[in-house]
A and B are shown apart, each in its own frame.
Chain A
Amino acid sequence: MGKGVAITGMGIISAIGNNIDENREALFAGKTGIGRVVKINTNHKNEIMVGEIAYTNSQLESLLQLPETNNYSRTALLGAVAAKEAVESACISDINEYKTGLISATSVGGMDMTEKYYYEYLEDKTVQKYIEAHHAGDSTQKIAEQLGLKNSLVTTISTACSSAANAIMLGARLIKSGKLDRVIVGGADCLSKFTINGFKSLMILSDTYNTPFDENRKGLNLGEAAAFLVLESDAVVKAENKNVLAYLKGYGNANDAFHQTASSENGDGATLAMKQALKVANLNAEAIDYVNAHGTATGNNDLSEGKAFLRVFNTMPPFSSTKPFTGHTLAAAGGIEAVFSVLALQHNVLYPNLNYKTPMSAFNLVPELELKEKPITNILSNSLGFGGNCSTLIFSKQA
């Protein structure tokens, strides 16, 4: 194994809170952020549940002290808030001091503005500023600008629901190879009419609270969120005498190569990704103390992921999905679940899989149902997406 990858800061905004402390409190109290959609004017209001962030765009703009002329999409606003918290918590005063990069992830990008002004763009000069805010890289450029990051490696990954996990993975590889000393990694996605209708047309949205790994699960709840980690090399940690929250110890990415949207029934891709991550971490499956599952509560995902668990683990460790707290936050999911995993390591707790009632008939896997205190050293977190994209991260107390 090469160099260690230390996590020295983190930031988050999600339906269960606007920062790390609020998210932690909600997780520990078993408090969901799922409810009816308020900020998006959709006909499906009464048929779906979502994990929406409390702040309005203008509240986020004033939080960031943006001028009125700004052209930030909601994705960029959320991303900037979370990334700033991450950098502050890592006690970084000069962002350009070391070789620093930013790797973000998004699937929605500026679609929230495009769907608002799609036809107005042609005529109304006052909204045309958002045209260039549409493409996925724009939100990342804005986050870099908010962090004051200049002359640097900045890029964006979009691999559907595994995007932020992949951004974290790339960041780790850039640190390990010595290309960067420090990198801010994560993802951001806001709710949009586009994704609501997209998942609705795929008929995988639940009309009630999502219930991962339950026999009677009815689909997912969409959510919006942003979360970022600060990763630093051993050398920076030593030089700056940094407080290390946890280490990113393993990562794996594989493709199911089965179907454009569905996962293979036996979870080939997820199995490969988990095995690869264990190999990179140099750990046996038995060393995993808790699994933060992708667990979207769709019929297909939970079956495929569960089958993959059985192929990777002889004895299944405690596991749960935190999607009932936040909803499925798409490209940001791997980021917020990375933050949740680090919090679990710091506080030695396992999160409950809310709303669970009936075991699945396909296998004998029952998730954690209560918040449980337990010494934890290694956590495995999955993110699986469209296009067959499967990613696994392993977080650890040890380098």
Chain B
Amino acid sequence: MNISLRALLGATVSFTLAGAALAETTITVATVNNGDMIRMQGLMDDFNAKHPDITVEWVTLEENVLRQNVTTDIATGGGQYDVLTIGTYEVPIWGKQGWLTSLNDLPAEWDADDLLPAIRGGLTVDGNLYAAPFYGESSMVMYRKDLMEAAGLTMPDAPTWADIEKAAAAMTNRDAEINGICLRGKAGWGENMAFLTAMSNSFGARWFDETWTPQFDKPEWKATLDFYLNLMNQYGPPGASNNGFNENLTLFNQGKCGMWIDATVAASFVTGKDSTVADKVGFALAPDNGLGKRGNWLWAWSLAIPSSSDAQDAAKTFVNWATSKDYLALVAEKEGWANVPPGTRTSLYENPEYQKVPFAKMTLDSINSADPNAPTVQPVPYVGVQFVAIPEFQGLGTSVGEIFSAALAGQKTADEALAEAQTLVADEMKAAGYIQ
């Protein structure tokens, strides 16, 4: 073999080995199908250019399917996923179980102190940050400015429930198929119970007292459910017990709702190209009852690393990139400020360019007014605004949601629904060992 051929072979082998070393780590990211995550997948060229040694594979699933798959994998130590997209409900539970890797050692430039305090608080357990927020949201009132004006009313920036009822009555026009208010009625812990639990906080209600005794037999819950049922029966759309986020979004975009109280993320949809009322929408904080707590929730989709992952360093590199200030700037540069994932960093809301986005301030105010560690007027033994961060809540929330949805459908009275909920939750909490 001559020298040239040997040199060529040597160079080929070196190049192949170098290539293998460069692309030696593959991480699997499990995520949900929402606009922000899809956008991130489209911006992966930036990550790939900065980290050619890491290959990212995506698994995109519907929220509940993702939750089921990830829970199965993480509980069995499967190690199929290296980065998980999880919500504020899972983080405290999984963090306590030791299923997640602490992110306290992310680089200083990632700037943990820049995270919105309410969001950071919901993702921290015993001083350890177990997930990096990618996108945060609260809930707020979205209303039709033109209908309010026609009714001779003005929506306060921080309305009370009495204001909402008055506005709903004034805007309802059954002949024109306009419902004064659209709210979630579809059963589910993340559907009607997210709304009703957050609403109940503003009425002073709570799921449990400090001894984990269920509180559905207390006057605060009665006031909450009576008000909700009355509001929806008089001014809500027909068949509201089947309506979740997407159904109400459709109704609002078609001009069939005077008001809609739901996730702040909806603001970009109701003002987007698919909305027939895009230029007529106003925003206000979620209502209160003068008790010091508003009826808004707090949620964040965050990136976490399961302790079972065998690519911890590569996973941290990805999380650092995807939740950094630089990533927000990258989205702004490529897609505009209105498309930047909201609700995670203080610096974003201090940016003069982002302050021009119409719903930016209201989103920030809504997030800041929620406190997952003190969600309601009275003390509680749990963390979570629109949920109770205990493993049993998914089942409990959905069962109670079914009872309340049936009450909205007229199949039972508020008193019957509350009594049923009280019995059901008490039995489950006894079985789970929380109470005797």
| B and A form one assembly | no
